[in-house]
Amino acid sequence: MFIDEAKIHIAAGDGGNGSASFRREKYVPAGGPDGGDGGQGGDVIFEVDGNLTTLIDFRYRTYYQAGAGAHGQGGKKHGKNGESLTIRVPPGTQVWDEEKVRLLADLTRPGQTWIAAQGGRGGRGNVHFKSSTRQAPAFFEKGEEGESRWIRLELKILADVALVGFPNAGKSSLISAISKARPKVANYPFTTLTPNLGVVSIAEGESFVVADIPGLIEGAHAGVGLGHEFLRHIERSRLLLYVIDSSGLEGRLPAEDLRVLNRELSLYQPQLAERPALAFANKTDLAESEEHMETLAETAAAMGLELYKGSAATGEGLRQVVYAMWQTLQRIPVPVAETEPDVDEALYTVERRRRGGAPLNLKNFHIVEDDEGYVVAGEDLERLMRRLDLDGEGGMRYLQQLLGEIGVYEALRKAGVSNGDTVKVGDLEFEYVE
């Protein structure tokens, strides 16, 4: 089954909590703090697997969770890092945000990896909070939550040449004749319901990939038939081959078929109609094709297309069109797909650097007055607040001292705070007392 779209939820592992422990050893009456740090949460990583061709695995599984970091222990024992989760995807997979507004990653090269969600940082144990005035800190840092979000995956198959044509034009027969692909072939519309890939070998070490793109009829650009489901698979192809039924036995004029196909591509994505292309008049073994050939050749010439003639059924003319595709590909550069982050993704990258251990700028805060009192707003300060263990007296005392050291109380006084006013810092709310 060919599946080329999926929506999944990914969640990196949470960081482990630090430990609040004290060294206890025989004959050592005053052992100091020795709480170890929590482990780092595992990442969710996408890796391109060249053996995959579909997103079918994501049809049966929606939620993906990496391992959490273990908590720290006494004796300065650090918790074990959580196990990262590697998700394998086929070449050509694009990763979008949930609303499909931002392209987060374009995964095209086998072996390519991308961190889709980063694990939370482990919390520090109480050994880090010892100072000359704080000899026995009885608190620790909690681990940070791992990143989590819904994302959309979209597969755009990677092929050098895309075969474009109406149903029953002979695309499946052609790809079967020039490669080792073995698609199902039958004589009725929409016989091909999935793209087929075939490798065409020219000589040892010289080959190219051809894709049979189904679902194109007039109105495909607007979603008629299977249009929208498969038109996007043409986008990555370097060369187009218009496959035309030259016999006209389906009740259509071959020259008009060529014009309609080009127009549908232009309406779907204007640059597609300008992509390098060739035309192949198929089914020339049928007598009816002769009466249409002159008009078809004139139409192709007017569109700037080289027209090749032959029959996928008998093999006539296939060698010529195969070598024409190969020679044309040699003149077309291979595009390099890149990740395309936007402003939000750039900020997302900054947050990841902080998770990696960059120091917090706790003095970067500001005071906001509202109807309920005063709010101390600062991204790094709020992030530290989420990590502190404020359930115990030691953690609260540490926070009170820290707020004074970084200038929060002074800033509140300058903002006009009075005794009894409500002050909110992160999720903590308290009454101000001078």
Looking at the DSSP bridge assignments, the partners of residue 424 are: 375, 429
- Give the model's pLDDT for residue 191: 43
Q: Which pair of tokens denotes residue 27?
A: 């004959």
* Domain assignments of the chain as residue spans, ordered by start: 5-155, 161-330, 359-431
Question: Cα(321)–Cα(279) distance, rounded to whole angstroms?
Answer: 9
Which residue, 170, 146, 177, is CA-closest to 355?
Answer: 146
Contact 305, 279 (CB under 8 A): yes
Question: Cα(341)–Cα(96) distance, rounded to whole angstroms?
Answer: 10
Q: How far is CA 322 from CA 157, 179, 261, 280, 287, in A?
A: 20, 10, 21, 10, 24
Q: Which pair of tokens denotes residue 168?
A: 């029953």
Indicate the burial class of 237 (C-beta count within 10 angstroms; 0-12, 13-18, 19 or more).
Answer: buried
CATH topology of domain 161-330: Rossmann fold (3.40.50)
Question: Cα(107)–Cα(236) distance, rounded to whole angstroms?
Answer: 12
Which residue, 128, 146, 134, is CA-closest to 36?
Answer: 128
Contact 196, 183 (CB under 8 A): yes
CATH node for 5-155 = 2.70.210.12
- Give the model's pLDDT for residue 86: 95
Statement: the pTM of the whole predicted model exceeds 0.75: no
Which residues in the chain show pLDDT less than 70? Answer: 1-3, 27-30, 181-195, 214-233, 335-359
The CATH classification of domain 359-431, taken from the options 3.40.190.10, 3.60.40.10, 3.40.1390.10, 3.30.300.350:
3.30.300.350
- Give the model's pLDDT for residue 155: 82
